[in-house]
Structure 1
Amino acid sequence: MVSKTCAAAATTFVYVSSTADGLISHYRLDEQTGALTLIDTVVAGEQSSPMAVSPDRSSLYVALRGQAPRSVRFAIEPGTGTLRHVGETPLPGSMAYLSTDRSGQFLFGASYGDDLVSVQAINPDHSVEAEPTCVLKTGMHAHSVRTDNSNRFVYIGELGTDHVLQYRLHDSGDLSAIDGGKIAATASSGPRHLAFSPNGRFLYVLGETDGAVTAYLIDPDTGALSQSAREVGIPETSKLAQGIVRDARNNDGKDDPTPRIWAADIKLSPDGTLLYFSERTSSSVSAFAVDPDSGELTWLGYYPVQEKQPRNIAFSANGRWLLVSGEKSEKFASYDIDPEDGSLTRTGEAPAGRNQVWIEVVRL
């Protein structure tokens, strides 16, 4: 379970993208008190959405999902965390997810609408090559892409077809399939976002449409996945029905009066013993205890948050605070984590942009 022991004082900055106004909001987080201070807002561009921080914490990449999809690169100024626009690069599609590999050599994107995953080389000066090293056509609605802790394997949440894709990453930036390139997830689960255990042994996958977390054991030699645990995080008392796959036709749910499971983001604590995911319909966060050795999950609770339709969530570097963004909230907030049961107490807040969708935490 997360310890409340506070680490030595450090400057922690938080960046939140908001699609409706095309902004990146820049905050300072006090890791001792949980207080949030809005420092600045920076214009990123049309429909600024997923973000990724370079491993050396010097660059922030932001995907713009407008009519000309591209990534915008900001330099993160040492000491102040100030963002400085330094370049833009076309993207092969409108990306729902952005990440770098563990070495900072490649930028990955997953396109929900275009059903693809792309790999673009990152140059020594942190600029991104326009021509992809690889464009992988996926099944319906690729929603996430990440490299494992060893940086040898790449996993993709394929929401529309209930698969987790598995590939080997080569030095060239190319991808090759592991055991046919995919493993079947639970039917109608909608594999969405991913999280890796700190010890590198397990991959945790959130089901958008069933509100369950599935743990997969990663074969350390081949990268092949095998399911090891699965727990539902939405209790019957929530009165939420099975979710449905959403796209441009039904994303707002206006023609469907049934309250349905609509899970969004999953995060593991820095020590790997606590896992949360957000659920948008009920504006809540579910908590699990995690056994780092076995990967087993124990459901702890289902906690409401004030941020309406919570999208991204993030742990502070010291593991004491959970940061929550709301797609329909005017505030961005921090929550104190109870080390015994994972329950949340709202502690800090600050003004936020419209339609907050992504959080990145940088400790300098």
Structure 2
Amino acid sequence: MSDIYTELISKDWTTHSNENSLVRYDKLPTYDTFIRECLLKNRPALFTASCGFMDDWSCITEWLNKDRTEPDFDRLINLYGHMTVPVTKCSSTITEYSSDDNKLTMRFDEFVNLWRNNETTAEYYCKDWHLQKMSGETKPLFYSVPTYFQSDWLNEKCLAENEDDFRFVYMGGDGTNTPLHMDVLGTYSWSANICGRKRWRFSKPHSIEFIQEPGDILFVPSEWYHDVTNIGFTISINHNWFNAFNILRIWKHLCATLEDIEHRIEDCRSVMSDTWHAHCQLILQANEGLNFASLYKLLYIIAQRRMKENQDEYKRFDLWMIDKLIREILHHSIFLYAFDLDTFPERPKVLLKQIHSFIEKQKQ
């Protein structure tokens, strides 16, 4: 076993910490360094353009003008003009991130005409656009996922199950913005700036403000609240994701959200009898995109895939953490009350035996 694997499995994962400063990488760190400095400390990081992540991304040449400073609007229309895209209408009177009052859809060519118009450029923001999913998974990505973010259980499961993914494109003009929010489920996110600049403000757990330049990629830790304002014509690629390093935070977030749901509909409990816990789980799934059962099924999919792959220290750590979390889930009485375990692809205790046996064989 390597030093990093031994270090990870000996860590006290019951406590969480957040470092209060932004790590700046002008040269590529090793993956182990990124783990120690950012993932274990839940600390934000900015990979500057000098790291060269985007040097071979096809979207740079396909989406931007010849000097790579602004969008090539006409070419973008030729490529995607026929698609229907999600657009947010930015307004100083709407400050809630999840508000539906300012959301609409339109053809992409209609959006571009609003985007390039000085009178409307600050008002309309194309965001949360599943461009890769809409283009078809058979087409190559117009970018490549940096090594540091490739262990992505959320999108791995979505792609394996042909579900909506958490890979997005954002396009907006000067002044378009995203109000204060925490990313869905308390996930990590990463944001790659193709062109334009972004002003980021983290407000909690710590206050940090900085400008993301073209070519920079930002790592946003779990449960960090932030708001973002675009400066100039901006395009970015964003992923939400989680893996073994923050999965316990995701679990804790689901438990806290469930507790809030139960509190809000407590007055219905007496009339719902045996369906109470199942109903709360349905609301949790609708609100968060995951509940206890779908989280378990995600863990099952990732575990099965890891046990079929060539092993390295990080994949062994994935299995070790999945084992740890399933044991914790089984101690939560609601997991047993709300679901029929016979409907699962594998009963949790059977999966635990498979993982334990696999890990023991790897030690030999």
Q: What TM-score bracket applies, with the shorter chain setting the length?
A: under 0.3
| Greater radius of gyration (CA) | 2
Higher strand share: 1
Q: TM-score, normalised by structure 1?
A: 0.24
If each structure's helix is expressed as a fraction of its own residues, which one has the higher value?
2
